[in-house]
Amino acid sequence: MGSTTSTSPHPLLNQLNSTGYVIIPSLLSPEEISSLRAACSSVTALGRSGTWPYIRTLPKQFPPWSASDYTNGIWGVQHLMHPAMPHAEQFVAAYFSDAIIDVVKQLLQCEDADLVMELFNLLVRPEERFELRWHRDDVSAEATAQEEMQRLGRPAWHAQWNLALYEDESLMVVPGSHVRARTDVERTADPWEKHLPGQVVVRLQPGDAVFYDNNILHRGVYDPERERATLHGSMGHVRGGELRARNVLQHGRGWVGEVEFEGLGEGERRRAEGMRERLQELGRVSGEVGFSQRD
Distance CA 24, CA 40 (A): 21
Residue 258 clears pLDDT 50, i.e. is over it: yes
pTM score above 0.85: yes
Q: For residue 223, is it within any domain? A: yes
- Structurally, how many domains does the chain consist of? 1
Q: For residue 237, is it within any domain? A: yes
The closest of 265, 238, 261 to 118, measured between CA atoms, is 238
Distance CA 279, CA 248 (A): 9
Q: For residue 293, is it within any domain? A: no
Distance CA 190, CA 205 (A): 30
Q: For residue 1, is it within any domain? A: no
Residue 270: give its domain's CATH number.
2.60.120.620
Q: For residue 90, is it within any domain? A: yes
Q: Phi and psi (nearest 5°) for 213?
A: -70, 125
**Percentage, residues of the chain above pLDDT 90:** 81
Q: For residue 4, is it within any domain? A: no
pLDDT per residue over 112-140, tens digit each?
999 999 999 999 999 999 999 999 998 99
Q: For residue 5, is it within any domain? A: no
Q: For residue 3, is it within any domain? A: no
Average pLDDT, the chain: 91
Residue 5 clears pLDDT 60, i.e. is over it: no
pLDDT per residue over 176-202, tens digit each?
999 999 999 999 999 999 999 999 999
pLDDT per residue over 96-113, tens digit each?
999 999 999 999 999 999
pLDDT per residue over 48-84, tens digit each?
999 999 999 999 998 899 999 999 999 999 999 999 9
Q: Cα-Cα-Cα-Cα dihedral of 47, 50, 55, 58, to 10°?
A: 100
Domain interval for residue 187: 11-286
Residue 234: the pLDDT is 95
